[in-house]
Amino acid sequence: MGKVIACYKWVPDEADIKINSDHTIDLSKAKWKISDYDKNAIEAAVQAAQVLEGKAVSLTFGGANAKSSLKDALSRGPDEACWINSDLASEADGFVTATVLAAAVRKMEDVSLVICAEGASDTYARQITPRLGAELDWPVITSVSNISINGNTIRAERQLDDCIQTVEAELPAVISVLPEVNDAPLPSLKAVIAASKKPVTELGDKDLGITDLTSKTRVQSQKAYVMIRKNIIFTEGDALDQVKELVGNLKKEGIL
Amino acid sequence: MSAEEKFDVIIIGAGPAGSACAYILARAGKNVLMVERGSSPGSKNVTGGRLYTYALEMVEPGLYKQAPLQRRVVREQIMMLGENSAVNIDYVNYDFGEDVPQSYTVLRAPFDEWFANEAEKQGAFVASGILVDGLIEENGKIVGIKAGEDEMYADVVVAADGVNSFIAQKAGLRPDIPAHTLGIGVKEIIELPDEIIAARFNLQGDQGAAKVAIGCSDGIAGGAFIYTNKGSISLGLVLNPEQVGQKGRSIQEILQDFKMHPAILPLLEGGKTVEYGAHLVPEQGYQGVPSRLYRDGLLVVGDAAGFVINTGTIIRGIDLAIISGAAAANAILNSIEGTHAGPLYMEELQKLALLPTMKMFAGWHSIISIPRMYKEYPELANDVMRFMFTVDGQVPEKMSKAMMNIAKRHVAVKQMLGDGWKLFKSV
Ligand SMILES: Cc1cc2nc3c(=O)[nH]c(=O)nc-3n(C[C@H](O)[C@H](O)[C@H](O)COP(=O)(O)OP(=O)(O)OC[C@H]3O[C@@H](n4cnc5c(N)ncnc54)[C@H](O)[C@@H]3O)c2cc1C
């Protein structure tokens, strides 16, 4: 039966990001982790693989430090892991990442479904799923909050701003899931121990036979922004007047 | 039970005690599982500041050279704070750390992670992000652990789960630990450029300073410490939680007052607090060590066993944790599949000088429980200094009389004699 691939990104933990006084960003002390949203993607893939009676495979495109992610990913349930180890990952844009992931999916053969998160917790560019679908020429369903699979058909609920849309597609397909899709459980002790015995495939970008791997966009700078506070204090009149004035101001700002 | 579900040894907790034990056992070829509840070793550890490196030497000669150590402590300072003054004893010895590596400041998060990694390199299996919530007992013997739904078996289980050990309590080796036997520690890491640290603490290169202070806790039993790291200083307090409660003060407030003391503030100025944490410390020394440190199939090490020495001027827990972890590992290696490892462990604790050292310091607990140590005596010291250095053109009081008056102002003579006797007897 077909494989289900979960794509994930190895990202710096946002809790450890420091902002320097010139607003530049310091990642030197950050620990790295699997992007939180991707944990739901991995769980969704494990569940889908059970339904399809196939294997769940985790897939990541990352630099040398992403090696530390493999055990964590596998302890979340996939049967195998694949790591595209490449220095290009750190500066890759949506084009490069999707090209690499698509090539890896093609190489794996017999893939029924690829599951990504809606976006990564660091850049949240939301490009990979649509680009990957286009690369592979497979149907794409985004913003998925519920999945059911019947035979060769996937039926997905898409959570939109104010309604839920139900979409069907034939497999193979590419979908991106929202955190609502499941509550990715913490790995258990046995799962952590079992993870170390599962197979890992490591490939370089050269092994994928891709000709063009230059980013089409280049990040020029990355800086924290400063929120300018209005610092208004209402002092006129009694408490009732002050509350009225506060509410009036909030309405004027369009907040209420 | 399949082979998948059984290890030779399971260690609960990847602090210094657990990692030392795992390292030695794995090096000897044992199949070791070390389980840590934090998302990675060290992520739950906010404590500490300095490590006496002899302990790492006992695990593996030269190992400390690879450890992420901060600064080599050459400068020991004891401060007695008055309201607006301070008496500072400054002892510097530039031989410290040259031939006999004595002590280095450490940051626990990177140190613990490194040490667990070294154990892993020796072949131990480290499972992080897993909370052990029970023991498996068969016919009176501990045969494994429970973590959520999962059960895992071992010949021996080692409880290295730190102060307030839930595992030792579960095994019936410790009663619920009463508050007065614990200290509450709070610590901040404050970032400062190395040049500024060197200038403010009078250091060069990788030299470091360790400062302890009393008279800064509003009369509550306890004291403060400041350690210099690379690019930061660790600053904190260890206090008696009961007395903090009785005073109706928050620990955070007392820490803030300490930081604002005119003799402390200039050391910190311009720094940025990047980490804050609180943790308990066993406070009773030798008296706080449970009467039994093992059961059939279970050994208790480190803080879980109460192995901390706090004299007010030095706090030693990390080194004792490492030594006890090594003692447990040696005992297990000398036993046959862990049977009767308990008595062997007690022998090792003697051989590695841990229990005799704790015994030596046993009296200190009664000294640090003299309430006057935290207010009256530091103030007295400050008044004596003020008298000695005050020159105002008047005829000064006769030295002996002045001293007597200062002393009486703070402590009744009878009390002082009593405290002196206690000091003499305990040390
Ligand atoms: C503020 C402060 C300052 C200190 N300063 C110093 C100092 O300068 N020098 C010094 O030598 N000592 C110092 N100490 C004491 C020292 O920190 C401890 O003695 C030492 O950390 C004990 O090591 P341990 O391995 O026994 O326990 P810990 O370091 O506490 O490690 C226990 C580990 O077990 C894990 N764990 C606990 N329960 C479970 C469970 N159920 N399942 C899985 N994992 C679990 C914890 O997450 C933790 O990682 C200080 C303590 C404090 C609070």
Cβ contact B387:B240 at 8 Å: no
Model confidence at B101, in pLDDT bands (50, 70, 90)? low
Instruction: Specify the amino acid at residue B226.
Output: I
Peptide bond preceding A172: is omega within 30 degrees of 0, i.e. cis?
yes
Instruction: Indicate the residue of A18, A192, A194 with minimum beta-carbon distance to B130.
Output: A192
Burial of B370 per CB tally in 10 Å (0-12, 13-18, 19+): middle
| Six token digits for residue B90 | 């400054």
φ/ψ of residue A210, rounded to 5:
-100, 140
DSSP string, A16-64: G-EE-TTSBEE-TT--EEE-HHHHHHHHHHHHHHHHHTS-EEEEEEE-G
Contact A190 B150 (CB under 8 A): yes
B318 Cα nearest atom in ligand 1? 11
Q: What is the pLDDT of residue A122?
A: 87
CB-ligand 1 contact for B302 (6 Å cutoff): yes
Judged against a pLDDT cut of 60, whether residue B208 lies above it is answered with yes
B169: three-class secondary structure by DSSP: helix
- Which of A189, A192, A198 should one mutate to test binding to chain B, selecting the residue with the greatest count of B CBs within 10 A? A189
Q: CB contact, 8 Å: A18 with chain B? A: yes
Q: What is the pLDDT of residue A1?
A: 63
Ligand 1 centre from B33 Cα, in Å?
A: 19
**Each residue of B87-100: pLDDT tens digit?**
999 998 887 766 66
Q: CB contact, 8 Å: A193 with chain B? A: yes
Q: Which residues of chain B lie closer than 8 angstroms to A185, CB-CB?
A: none
| Six token digits for residue B405 | 């008056």
**Percent of chain A surpassing pLDDT 70:** 100
Q: Which residues of chain A lie closer than 8 angstroms to B274, CB-CB?
A: 18
Q: CB contact, 8 Å: B274 with chain A? A: yes
- Which of B4, B130, B149, B191 should one mutate to test binding to chain A, selecting the residue with the greatest count of A CBs within 10 A? B130
Q: Using alpha carbons only, how large is chain B's radius of gyration in Å?
A: 23
Model confidence at B414, in pLDDT bands (50, 70, 90)? confident
Model confidence at B46, in pLDDT bands (50, 70, 90)? low
Give me the total of CB pairs closer than 8 Å, taking one residue from chain A and one from chain B.
31
CA A149 from chain centre, in angstroms, equals 21
Report pTM.
Answer: 0.88
Q: Which residues of chain A lie closer than 8 angstroms to B33, CB-CB?
A: 193
**Each residue of B133-189: pLDDT tens digit?**
999 999 999 999 999 999 999 999 999 999 988 999 999 998 777 777 788 899 999
Q: CB contact, 8 Å: B337 with chain A? A: no
**Each residue of A185-224: pLDDT tens digit?**
999 999 999 999 999 999 999 999 998 999 999 999 889 8
Q: Which domains does chain B have, with CATH numbers?
A: 3-70+107-176+288-360 (3.50.50.60), 180-282 (3.30.9.90), 366-426 (no CATH)
Cβ contact A149:A207 at 8 Å: no
Contact B152 A186 (CB under 8 A): no
φ/ψ of residue B102, rounded to 5:
-95, -70
- Which of A186, A190, A196, A197 should one mutate to test binding to chain B, selecting the residue with the greatest count of B CBs within 10 A? A190
**Each residue of B212-236: pLDDT tens digit?**
999 888 888 889 999 999 999 999 9
Tell me the pairing of strands A200-204 and A80-85: parallel
**Each residue of B296-322: pLDDT tens digit?**
999 999 999 999 998 877 889 999 999
Nearest to B5 by CA among B166, B143, B148, B159: B143
Average pLDDT over residues A138-157: 96
User: Who has greater pLDDT, B278 or A167?
Assistant: A167
Model confidence at B37, in pLDDT bands (50, 70, 90)? very high
Residue with tokens 């002082």: B416
Mean pLDDT of chain A, nearest integer:
93
Judged against a pLDDT cut of 90, whether residue A160 lies above it is answered with yes
**Residues 6 or more apart in contact with residue B237 via CB below 8 angstroms:** B185, B186, B216, B217, B222, B223, B224, B225, B251, B254, B255, B258
Average pLDDT over residues B334-363: 91
Judged against a pLDDT cut of 90, whether residue B36 lies above it is answered with yes
Question: What sign for the dihedral angle of Cα B127, A200, A44, A99?
Answer: positive
CA B313 from chain centre, in angstroms, equals 12
| Six token digits for residue B388 | 């000695």
**Each residue of A64-105: pLDDT tens digit?**
999 999 999 999 999 999 999 999 999 999 999 999 999 999
Contact B150 A187 (CB under 8 A): no
Q: What is the pLDDT of residue B321?
A: 97
Judged against a pLDDT cut of 70, whether residue B427 lies above it is answered with no
Instruction: Specify the amino acid at residue B210.
Output: A
**Residues 6 or more apart in contact with residue A149 via CB below 8 angstroms:** A48, A51, A52, A113, A155, A171
Contact B130 A188 (CB under 8 A): yes
Please report the beta strands in chain A, taking only residues with DSSP state E, as ranges in sequence order.
3-8, 10-12, 18-19, 25-26, 32-34, 56-62, 80-85, 111-117, 140-150, 153-159, 164-170, 173-177, 200-204
Residue with tokens 């286009």: A134
Q: CB contact, 8 Å: B125 with chain A? A: yes
Please report the beta strands in B2-149, taking only residues with DSSP state E, as ranges in sequence order.
6-12, 32-36, 50-52, 69-81, 86-92, 103-106, 125-128, 134-138, 141-147
CB-ligand 1 contact for B241 (6 Å cutoff): no
Helix or strand holding residue B328 (H, E): helix B318-334
Q: CB contact, 8 Å: B148 with chain A? A: yes
Cβ contact A67:A29 at 8 Å: no
Complex ipTM more than 0.85, yes or no: no
Q: What is the pLDDT of residue A55?
A: 97
B152: three-class secondary structure by DSSP: strand
CB count within 10 Å of CB B140 equals 8
